[in-house]
Amino acid sequence: MTDLPLKSSLKPLVTVVTVVFNDESDIAETIESVISQSFSDREYIILDGDSTDSTCKIINKYAGKIDYFTSKPDKGIYDAMNKAIKIARGRWIIFMNSGDRFFSDDILEMVFQMKIGEDVTFIYGNHQIDYGKYLKDAYAGLVENLWKGLPFSHQAVFGLTEWHKKRFFEIKYRFGADFNFFASSFSEGKKFQHVDFPISIIKAGGFSGRNAIISILERWKISRRYFRSSKVDFFYALFLVNNIVSEIAKKSLGPKVTEFIRKRKNWLNI
């Protein structure tokens, strides 16, 4: 494998970051999505966590299109994202991790041709979820409801790099460091601007999705840190019970019943 140092000292408008570990099946699609963007005022950083499969070999095929690449052990996804933030030079930063991709080749152009409000720290949009056999639209919610969880996908939000460099992800949170970051930012009055179109396509079954119960408990703890109230505890207690029932159904009742339950989870507005 070959590490690629930063190729230029010029400061681009947007930094796109991909964090990856042992994902030879998906990394090429993510890279293609980034380097195919029509918007040229960007840099692309890839941090690999010392993969043992052919991930790094695939990445090196795109060396001429990548501004920075290294493969070293890390302490997890959020640790790797923090390392990327430290070297990012763009005014804005977005994380498009392995398995995820931009909705179209002109997304960066669409976002940054729009008028961005004064003092805006985050620009967020909608996304789609890739279930393999079909795509499902997911519309971003109100940031005022952030206490329930992220109202947007992390892969559908651009943040000011300057703010990220002041507030790195707290890696003590294994599943919810991004939720903690955005909840903290919101509680401090940072402004969020919504763009009403999809930014990204997210592969279903990510890290948090595979550890749903633990992830909910961690999110509950974070929400109480910034939005402590009885409604927070009531919401998360119901949310937890709902997911426990779903897990039991998945194991004992079969996929059809599980899908029926999943489609009717909106009664909790989650």
Nearest to 85 by CA among 184, 208, 177, 190: 177
Burial (CB count within 10 angstroms: exposed 0-12, middle 13-18, buried 19+), residue 2: exposed
- How many CB atoms are closer than 10 A to CB 192? 22
Q: Which amino acid is at 52?
A: T
Q: Tokens 């940031």: give the residue.
A: 143
Residue 160 contacts residue 185 (beta carbons within 8 Å) = no
Residue 5: per-residue pLDDT = 63
Report d(CA 51, CA 71) in Å as an integer. 7
Strand partners for 200: 102, 127
Q: Which amino acid is at 79?
A: D
Q: Tokens 């669409």: give the residue.
A: 110
Please list the ranges in the chain whose pLDDT falls under 70: 1-10, 206-210, 250, 253-270
Two tokens, residue 48:
């690999």
Residue 252: per-residue pLDDT = 73
Phi first, then psi, for residue 174 (nearest 5°) are -75, -35
Residue 1: per-residue pLDDT = 42
Report d(CA 168, CA 183) in Å as an integer. 13
Report d(CA 248, CA 191) in Å as an integer. 40
Residue 234: per-residue pLDDT = 95
Listed in sequence order, the DSSP H helices in 54-106 are: 55-60, 77-87
Q: Which amino acid is at 178?
A: D
